[in-house]
Structure 1
Amino acid sequence: MEVDTVSDIKTLSIDIETYSGYDLNKCGVYKYVEHPDFDILLFGYAVNGGEVQVVDLACGEEIPEKVISSLSDESVVKWAFNASFERVCLSMWLRRNHPDHFRSYSIEGDSVRNYLDPEAWRCSMVWSAYMGLPLSLEGSGAVLGLEQQKLKEGRDLIRYFCVPCKATKANGGRTRNLPEHDPEKWDLFKSYNKRDVEVEMSIQKRLAGYPVPGFVWDEYHLDQEINDRGIALDMKVVEEAIELDGQTREELQETMKELTDLENPNSVAQMKQWLSDQGTEVESLGKKDVAKLIEEVPEDQKEVLRLRQQLAKSSVKKYQAMQNAVCLDGRARGMFQFYGANRSGRWAGRLIQLQNLPQNHMEDLEQARELVKAGNLDALTMLYENVPAVLSELIRTAFVPAVGRKFIVSDFSAIEARVLSWLAGEQWRTDVFVNNGDIYCASASAMFGVPVEKHGQNAELRQKGKIAELALGYGGSVGALKSMGAIEMGLQEEELQPLVDSWRSANPNIVRFWWDVDRAVKKAIRQRKPSVLKGIRFECRNGMLFITLPSSRQLSYVKPRMGENRFGGESVTYEGVGATKKWERIESYGPKFVENIVQAISRDILCYAMKTLRHCFICAHVHDELIIECSMNVDLSVICEQMGRTPPWADGLVLRADGYETMFYKKD
């Protein structure tokens, strides 16, 4: 499609192929583009849905001026699959090659200044995820049954042209493959680039009847802003922690060798044999098994197992991930995958994975942190029994605000419990939240019929209330209690079923809500009739089950049908990415759908808070918590008040946000 001017361009569909000396999987796109050798090799594009063009930049071709101009034109909508990759790469490419065409959207004091405004970008991967489809171009194309599929040779071509190669005699000692080194492969690579744009546009056409709502695109743009902003790292803490971990591990290994005479005391097989030689037979050396074993074995074996526990701490991997991801300005970026969990729409973690950081429980966190920064292993060893455990607890503290600023960390209190209680109409629970009560104490009190206070009468029952709350809200039974650690917490096997029965008796409306949802889903699938329950709409159309939430966002389930579960009963199944990470048919039922719904609504509430606080510099978020980088005079109570506002679509839901100020991230 020929266009004369930029004003003729309404949409651009883009796919690029790139080269960098950095490993994209380890460092993420933001650092990837900072390598001096970073470049765009191929630029595939289509204007206004027309024929795909491929510009061979590596061989000297040039992108038309009007197309370059449109990259920073906010009136031109740019489409790509995983658009953040194209947007960040093109931001760097424009800054280096066409600085007159680069425009940042940053305001004074913000750190998003190096990237194009995400407002003009749309991501077909997000669209796929919104529809319950895979988060890959190949996977989405296959599930949708597109005529044109992604070329399977792509991975080999990318490995050949896009990453450094090993110097060998056969390749003349070169460390990079260029087009002239294999013209036939290069022609195939251009076809691959073209096909990706075609497949991306085909996905758009196939999903055209199910548009992503504007407010979800607004959430995506805010997500991109947070990823662009990044969060600062104290690299002194990171580097010293890696160094100390190496020294400590070496010493632990040597001590274990002396105690056991084993060549590799870290080997599971060798350690099992050593224990067997000492008269202790074990099937597993997992974390829980070792902890239990330590209580039972003689003192000499205890010492070896304690050392093994220390060696098992994997804290150094997080520090190495920080080292890999940190950008030139000392900030880590790109850690959040929008719609990474497509059953609920929640984020998934990337790179450093903030969602699964170890907690910290040390009282003298700041002192330990300073000793690590100083590289003082002697003091750490003298003051703390377990140095790897200290390094693990300090991981969070490597995240710091910019100089002259502070962090305000604010999170929702018991958000899922509040949402579930609100949806089910379990009024006694909502009353607890209204009065700022402790839901674990209140739950235990309702279950056992006696007053329970956290540090007062019947305080020992609070733990049972807590584990019941965490394990049983979505139909869980004895197995859920066990997987949540009930036995390790001191509960007896015979106590578990009565605990399940007591919790369900105390929460009849929640139990009823599970099965009301179950019936609504089955009615939608069987009868193709929509129904509304507690402001949630269930309907099937065009081979999809849609659950419309109070926020008006939809959850999508592909090809739902009635099937039979492993017990011979009736169940709902649909297609999705299962526990094996493969596309498969997944079995579900009422309580599981309730879990999806509650987590999805909790996610929507977090998004509402993020939009309320978008005038602040949100630099990270973890589960139901926001990390805000702000000036020293910002009032914590104001931030918490704004975060805790109930969305207009959740009338009657009682929310509360609590927070703290800190000069390094931690779990308060």
Structure 2
Amino acid sequence: MNSKKILSIDIETVFSKDLSKCGVYSCCEDKEFHILLFAYAFDNEEVKIIDFTKNEKLPKEVLEALLDDNIIKSAFNANFERICISAYLNLYLSPKSWKCSQVHALSLGLPPSLERVGDVLCLKNKKLKSGKNLIKFFNKGNSPKDYPQKWEEFKNYCIMDVKCEREIREKLSKFPLSNEEELLYELDQEINDRGIGVDIDFVKEALICHENYKKIIKEKLYNLTKLDNVNSICQMKKFLAERNVKTDKLDKKSVEKLMKTCSEDICEILSLRKLLGKTSVRKYESIIKSVTKDERVHGLFQFYGASRTGRWSGRLVQVQNLPQNHIKNLEYTRNLVKNKEHEKLNDLHESIPEVLSQLIRTAFIPKEEHEFIVVDFSAIEARVLSWISNEKWRVEVFKTHGKIYEASASEMFNIPIKDINKDLRQKGKIAELALGYGGSVNALISMGALDMNLQEDELLPLVQRWRNANINIKNFWYDVGNAALETVAKEKTMRVGKITFEYYNNYLFIKLPSGRKLSYFNPMIKRNVYGKESLTYEGIATNRKWERIETYGPKLVENIVQGISRDILAYAMMNLKNRSFNIVMHVHDEVVVEVKKDEHTLEEICNIMTIPPPYAKDLCLKAQAYKCDFYRKE
């Protein structure tokens, strides 16, 4: 436990904006923003509360503590408290002395909400479930004076949040975040505070362009169908049924399937319907909602958002899943949108929604007299998987020519790499993309193998060839799975190569080469549907519910590889920070820095990115970089 004095904080606020859609940075610029209640406690002292609706003021010792980097400020989702209090005090509170118990919980594979963490850890001081209704009630403008009993309940709710957060922090203190992770959280907060610039004029014109296009599509659909509401799923399904075209759904996949068998006139209607349903502008709308007065978007990243690997997840605009751009004349097309030249745009492109979708990246721009340098690791997961499993021929490929698709085909088909043709390279590529984590035929199909002119009867032999060529990777899957099972069954430490498995305090920990640990809460061994012993643990499933999840060797290897890749990215980001580079965005294996024009070279940035961490000096890293005046994918 940290020996420094700790100030635990929870606040209740009022905004006129939707916090979940606009983000705290934008909401704090709202004229209606106020802090209503400020609950706090130093160390284990009694929790006190300041009621700003009664013109109560923050005590001097609290104000001094907020400004003192030698006193730790702690909260659950500390970014919210820090930014709101900064706005209230009209000064910038650095993240340097702030600790986030939500991040600590996420690092241990626990849920992201205070209430759910309290339930999982069986706390004595649980978050009051009445709080959500009270927040809504007083956010609607209801006065505390008119509802004194409810207001007292609200104050008690705020006090209980401090007690709950403090108990979580105490319970998790036996699993402290490392100093490296604490510094990385600080960097994460600096990146969120810095934000990234947006071309607000371009964003507004993109939305106008989309609305104009929608009107044209709706008019065409109305002329073809005469439906009162061409957006209505019920009306469209009835229209189709009357023409012997029956369907339960009208989503993208269902429409595409129908179009393969329908008549030409119905195909035209379905095609228009598909265009109308394309959600290409939602990210533009998210930018408009979350942009601040400095024309930047802040708070785009959640530290430890992917709790199984420690990777970041996206917030607000969700930059982790931006559409790629394949438009050849990207800048010209972007200028057509920005300059309101819609007719030219329509003449050049069949699908305006698709164009706008591909242009979303270009909404992000550097500040004046600056440029972006975008740098990303080349095949980072493939390199890490080869290194951690000691698949020597692959390691050698990455140390030399790096052509893993060709080399993989060469190993699979026992043909010299110089003789690998386009068809064999394609097979090597799809195998590499789909099979590294135990995938089989279905993984190849999901990755688009059948669209690459591969026949279904070729897929299983392809899987077998890849596994035979990568026997060390295959063995690593099973060694990892068996080690995890034995660690939990016998509660003993196991080691597989550079990876250590530990079990204690109801957690399975997988220790990565960096020393960071992946956490699996309440692991148990159960019989699966195949009658085999299987490892399970409690966590957030794909349906976002807390439940028991089954896992196995190849899936654990995927977590390990992605966790190591995350650590390597984090090490590179810290190196960039230590050399005074301003990171404004990062996506998976890519970093975007904002620099003065022509002040830095691509080689300089790539050299920093590829400095290997001390624990992986023999891991061959490669990075590629390019400069741009708006964000794009090269």
Give the match's secondary structure for 1:613. helix
Report the equivalent of 1:643: 609
Counterpart in the other structure of 1:81 = 76
> Does 2:361 match 1:361?
no
- Matched to 2:362, the amino acid is T
Asked if the contact 2:406–2:420 (Cα under 8 Å) also holds between the matched residues in 1, the reply is no
- Following superposition, the deviation at residue 486 of structure 1 comes to 2.4
Is 2:498 aligned against 1:521? Answer: no
Percent identity between the aligned chains?
A: 50
Aligned position for 1:498: 461
Distance 2:134 2:456 in 1: 56
Alignment of 1:40-189 (within 5 A): 40-95=35-90, 102=91, 115-161=92-138, 163=139, 165=140, 176-189=141-154
What is the match of residue 299 of structure 2?
Answer: 334
Query: Aligned ranges for residues 231-250 of structure 1 at < 5 Å?
Result: 231-250=196-215
CA contact (8 A) 2:323 2:357 kept: yes
1:307-348 Cα offsets, whole Å, 9 max, x none, are 223223211111000000000000000010000111101111
2:596 corresponds in structure 1 to 631
Query: 2:18 is matched by which residue type in structure 1?
Result: D
Q: Which amino acid aligns with 1:140?
A: V
Aligned to 1:181, the other structure's residue is in SS state: coil
How much has 1:436 moved relative to structure 2? 3.4
* Structure 1 SS opposite 2:451: coil
Question: TM-score, normalization: structure 1?
Answer: 0.91
Contact preservation (8 Å) 2:506, 2:522: yes
Structure 2 residue 391 is matched with structure 1 residue 407: no
Judge conservation of contact 2:10–2:39 (CA < 8 Å) in 1.
yes
Residue 33 of structure 1: which of 28, 46, 60 is its match?
28
Match in the other structure for 1:562: 525
Taking the aligned partners of 1:292 and 1:641, their CA distance within structure 2 comes to 48
Assess if the C-alpha contact under 8 Å between 2:5 and 2:43 holds in 1: yes
Unaligned runs of 5+ residues in structure 2 are none
CA distance in 1: counterparts of 2:462 and 2:243, whole angstroms: 40
Q: Distance in 1 between matches of 2:273 and 2:424?
A: 34
> SS of the residue aligned with 1:532?
strand
Give 2:543's aligned amino acid: T
Aligned residues: 629
Aligned-partner SS, 1:18: strand
Q: Among residues 217, 224, 244, which one is paired with 2:182 in the alignment?
A: 217
Of stretches 575-584 and 443-452 in structure 1, the one that deviates more from structure 2 is 443-452
C-alpha distance in 1 between matches for 2:489 and 2:84: 47
Q: What secondary structure does 1:607 align onto?
A: helix
For 1:373, give the aligned amino acid.
K
Q: What is the CA-CA distance between 1:132 and the residue it aligns to?
A: 1.2
Which of 13, 17, 38 is residue 12 of structure 2 equivalent to? 17
Q: Name the CA distance, whole Å, in 2 between partners of 1:353 and 1:451.
A: 43
1:188 Cα deviation after fit: 0.3
Structure 1 residue 207: Cα displacement: 1.3
The answer to whether the 8 Å contact 1:487/1:493 transfers is yes
Distance 2:45 2:454 in 1: 65
The aligned runs of 1:401-550 (5 Å cut-off) are 401-451=366-416, 457-550=420-513
Seen in structure 2, the aligned counterparts of structure 1 residues 45 and 150 have a Cα distance that, compared at 3 Å, is same
CA deviation digits over 1:135-185, x for unaligned, max 9? 111011110001121000000111111x3x3xxxxxxxxxx2221121111
What is the deviation of 1:286? 3.7
Deviates more, 1:463-472 or 1:392-401: 463-472
**Structure 1 position 267, deviation (Å):** 3.9
Q: Could you tell me which residue of structure 2 aligns to residue 585 of structure 1?
A: 548
1:287-316 C-alpha deviation (Å, 9 max, x unpaired):
344445545544323322332232232111
Distance 2:282 2:383 in 1: 35
**Counterpart contact for 1:451–1:458, Cα < 8 Å:** no
Matched residues in 2 for 1:567 and 1:143: separation? 29
Q: Is the 8 A contact 1:74 1:119 kept in 2?
A: yes
Q: Deviations over 1:382-430 (max 9, x none)?
A: 1211111111111000000001100000001111111000011111111
Counterpart Cα distance in 1 of 2:561 and 2:45 = 42
SS of residue matched to 1:561: strand
Q: Does 1:659 align with 2:625?
A: yes
Q: 1:105 — aligned with what?
A: none
Q: Which amino acid aligns with 2:353?
A: P
Residues in 2 aligned to 1:328 and 1:336: alpha-carbon distance in whole angstroms: 19
2:410–2:420 CA contact under 8 A, matched in 1: no
Post-superposition offset of 1:571: 0.3
CA shift at 1:281, angstroms? 4.8
Q: CA deviation at 1:583?
A: 1.1
1:262-301 equivalences under 5 Å are 262-282=227-247, 284-301=249-266
| Equivalent residue letter for 1:629 | E
- Deviation of 1:478 after TM superposition, in Å, equals 1.5
3-state SS in 2 of match to 1:395 = helix
Write the distance in 2 (CA, Å) between the matches of 1:395 and 1:567: 45
How far residue 469 of structure 1 moved from its aligned partner, in angstroms, is: 1.4
After TM superposition, the structure 1 stretch with the greater mean CA deviation from structure 2, 484-493 or 252-261, is 484-493
Q: 1:483 Cα shift?
A: 2.2
Give the partner amino acid of 1:37.
E
1:17 counterpart letter in structure 2: E
Change (3 A) 1:445 1:256: farther
CA deviations over 1:264-284 (Å, ceiling 9, x no partner): 344444444444544555565
- The letter for the 1-side match of 2:304 is Y
Aligned residue identity for 1:418: R
1:195 maps to what in 2?
160
Cα distance, 1:461 vs. partner?
2.5
CA distance in 2, matches of 1:485, 1:202: 49
- Give yes or no for the alignment of 1:346 onto 2:311: yes
Q: State which drifts further: 430-439 or 603-612.
A: 430-439
- Does 2:583 align with 1:606? no
The residue number in structure 2 matching 1:322 is: 287
Contact 1:452 1:461 in 2 (8 A): no
Distance 1:445-1:290 versus aligned 2 partners, 3 A rule: farther
- 1:172 alignment counterpart: none
For residues 14-72 of structure 1, the C-alpha deviation after alignment (integer angstroms, 9 at most, x for no partner) is 00111122211111000111112211111100012211111111111111112111101
**Cα distance, 1:448 vs. partner?**
2.3
How many angstroms does 1:651 deviate by?
Answer: 2.7
Contact 1:559 1:575 in 2 (8 A): yes
Cα offsets for 1:546-577 (capped at 9, x unmatched)? 11111001111111111011111110011111
- Single out whichever of 602-611 and 425-434 deviates more from structure 2: 425-434
Can you list the C-alpha shifts for 1:603-658, whole angstroms capped at 9, x where unaligned? 00000000010120100111110011001121111001111121111132111110
- Whole-angstrom distance in 1 between the partners of 2:127 and 2:556: 33
Unaligned runs of 5+ in 1: 1-7, 96-101, 103-114, 166-175
Tell me which amino acid in the other structure corresponds to 1:580: N
| Equivalent residues of 1:13, 1:49 under 8 A apart | no
Contact 2:192 2:301 in 1 (8 A): yes
SS in structure 2 at match of 1:180: coil
Cα distance in 2 for partners of 1:522, 1:205 equals 30
